[in-house]
A and B are shown apart, each in its own frame.
Chain A
Amino acid sequence: MSSYSGLFDILGMRDWCDEDKKPSLLSLGKLKGGEANWYDLNFPSLDNLHEACSKVPQTRDFTAGIEDGFLAIRPALRTVLDPLTQPLSWALDGALWLFTSTPWWALVPLLTLLCVFFTKSWKIGTLVLSFMLTFLFIDHYDHAMQTLAIIVVCTVICVLVGVPLGIAMSKSDRLQRMITPVLDMLQTLPTFVYLIPLIFLFKITEPKLYGLAIILYAIVPVVRLTNLGIRLVDPDVIEAAEAYGLNKRKKLWGVEIPLALPTIMAGVNQTIMMSLAMVVIASLVSAPGLGTLVLDGINNLRLGVGFVAGFAIVLLAILLDRVSKAALDRVNATQSNH
């Protein structure tokens, strides 16, 4: 039955193993264990050891254990996280309402002008306008605006949380050592895995479910690059600031943040792009927007629907990337002042 029965016999643990077992199985195990068949030797994995000794847990017992453990702390987690994350739900609902209920003839020019204001580039404005008109023309405008609303809210929260966190990391090597593995994990966990514990924690109809998944995934670059940007500020300039009596607050706001701004903006650009990537996947947990169309295409094998939605996502990605990069270039330009 198993190559490892003999092992438990030798270790004298047979009695412990077979406390709950029927005697007939015991004799069979002994018989098989006696024959040494090296070619068929199994790795002593949990499942194989379980066959030899029923007291050893199976791998599926472990996964079940994790699930039980999570379910056990779920009420406590919910009590803490639910009120804490409620504003996220409100923000997402509010933004979705704002972006979908504002008439297109008001929102499209407004967004175009906002982009022109932030990038100081009419070229970018023209791009935004033409893409928006494309969304309208192919009747994907509402979905695109839902996606955009979610990205805006999540990016703002990522920046509000991520930038201070990055600054704190840049000031403390210990904090950096503690947070870096967490960031590594958030960045490498497959995106679907984020969704599983969140489904357990929140109702699937709550916007904060996908909001949190997006934020956890997209916050990493802005934290990393803020930390990096502040650490890379020329130490000579920092020394000059100290030599002229700048206190910590003035040093941070007057020197470090302005000089790190191009790097921080690069992080924001990455955060926006990662939000977009996640918002599509989050359609699995009821995030509205273009992702639902892609999901529809997959679920119902509607190739055309999925393809056009994918094309709209690409347009949205180009749009977000160009606008944020143009804003970054403007920051760079004021810094180096060519």
Chain B
Amino acid sequence: MSKKVKVSVQGLYKIFGDDGASKVDLVKNGMTKADLLDQHGHVLGLQDINVDMKEGEITVIMGLSGSGKSTLIRHLNRLIEPTAGKILLDGEDILSLQGDDLLEMRRTRMSMVFQKFALFPHRTVAENAALALEVGGASKQEQRAEAEKWLARLGLKGFEDSYPNQLSGGMQQRVGIARALCAHSEVMLLDEAFSALDPIIRSQMQDLLLELQKELHKTIIFITHDLDEALKLADHLVILKDGYVIQQGEPQHIILNPSDVYIERFVTDINRARVLRTRSIMKPLAGQDLGVALPVSADDNLESVIEMVNGDTSKSFVVESDGQQLGYFDMHDIVAAMVPQRAEEEWVG
């Protein structure tokens, strides 16, 4: 892809303990997490993380609890200091930022949304939303206008003067998102932002985020432990396990080609028909007769295709995007894609 890299994490290590820096070489030479804890009393948080997060994309970092995903996202705005490695924002190493420059970077260039919302309970919704502007010294009217604008955009018009604990969880997280949007930062960090919400609200919030993203084209880094959520949102998916990146790439590609038993286990539980898109299973055109093939969009998922033909297994389809024919597939390909691929088999789609 030709998109610019916005945030780049290079060779990042985090070792928790009194003297983490001296232990980096041990880990580089292959010491495992368990050995490091047993022999040196240090906890390996992250090892050799290399991820490029592209401008205007949603990068989802997925992993189970303890995989280091929350640690990783806190490195991006330096709420946690890395033990070794580089973090570049627009090519600038943010590890060189000191004092006020660091605070300025957090305020203007990266905004964060938290799992437990982390709103200030003693401030009104509007005051919470305008936090970054207030810290930046904007006038009261400006703060209020900006807060009102984003709160209205997120469906919270009329709640400006309420206090956070008067709102439901979903509404509180909308305030959290409004707070991030008010900061006008290009990068948004969402740390399990929807994990504390119930499934229906979570799904609505995901749709809301995608809708906002279509308009705003922020660089979003989203942390989750939920694969369905990751697949719904991700342009680029990074899977973490025990502090290292086990696989990263285009989500469709990862589902079809799990590189590891760990990922395979994840992937078996998802609703593949809803997640897989036509472009992921199509076969290249080679001058076939496409006379009876039905046109479908490259971004349609398989579920919608099955629904379109009411499950008729005799149909075949041609995949189109912007009026161009990209490839074709038939019902057999759909059925084949429903079965997870084994990681051991090298299968290139």
- Residue of B77, B104, B114, B163 near A236 (CB, 8 A) is B114
Can you add 6 more A-B contacts, CB < 8 Å, to A243-B106, A255-B120, A337-B163? A236-B114, A244-B183, A245-B107, A247-B103, A259-B122, A335-B122
A286 to B132, CA, bound (A): 56
| A-B contacts, 26 listed (Cβ < 8 Å) | A234-B118, A236-B117, A237-B119, A237-B121, A239-B118, A240-B118, A240-B119, A240-B120, A243-B77, A243-B110, A243-B111, A243-B112, A244-B111, A244-B135, A244-B183, A245-B105, A245-B106, A245-B108, A246-B103, A247-B100, A258-B122, A259-B121, A335-B121, A335-B122, A336-B165, A337-B166
Interface contacts (Cβ under 8 Å), in number, total 66
* Band of interface residues on B: 20 to 34
Asked if B116 is an interface residue, CB under 8 A from chain A, the answer is yes
The 5 closest A-B pairs by CB, nearest first: A245-B107, A240-B118, A245-B103, A236-B118, A245-B106
Asked whether A240 lies within 8 Å of B112 as measured between CB atoms, the reply is yes
Interface residues of A (CB under 8 A from B): 234, 236-237, 239-247, 250, 254-255, 258-259, 334-337
B79, B100, B104, B122: the one contacting A239 at CB < 8 Å is B79
Closest to A331 in B: B122
| Cβ–Cβ contact B120 & A245, under 8 A | no
The answer to whether B121 and A336 touch across the interface, beta carbons within 8 angstroms, is yes
Q: Which residues of A contact B112 (CB under 8 A)?
A: 240, 243-244
Residues in A neighbouring B118, C-beta threshold 8 A: 234, 236-237, 239-240
Cβ-defined contact, A245 with B122, below 8 A: no
Residues of B at under 8 Å CB distance from A?
Answer: 77, 79, 100, 103-108, 110-112, 114, 116-122, 131-132, 135-136, 163, 165-166, 179, 183, 189
- Using A245-B104, A245-B106, A259-B122 as known contacts, say yes or no to A240 and B114 having CB atoms under 8 A apart: yes
Determine the main DSSP class of A at the interface with B.
helix
Counting chain B CB atoms within 10 Å of each CB, the highest count among A245, A246, A259 belongs to A245
In the docked arrangement, what's the CA distance between A236 and B163, Å? 17
Q: Which residue in chain B gives the minimum CB-CB distance to A250?
A: B135
Residues of A with C-beta under 8 A to B136: 245
Decide: A242 and B79 in contact? CB cutoff 8 A: yes
Contact B132 A244 (CB under 8 A): yes
Contact of B131 among A244, A247, A335, A336 (CB under 8 A): A244
Least CB distance, A193 to chain B, in whole angstroms: 42
Taking the closest CB of chain A, its distance from the CB of B143, in whole angstroms, is: 13
Q: Considering the chains assembled together, what is the distance between the CA atoms of A4 and B72 in angstroms?
A: 71
Shortest CB-to-CB span from B260 to chain A, Å, is: 32
Residues of B within 8 A of A336 (CB): 121, 163, 165
Interface centre among B100, B110, B118, B183 (most CB of A within 10 A): B118
Task: Assess the A245–B135 pair: CB atoms within 8 A.
Answer: yes
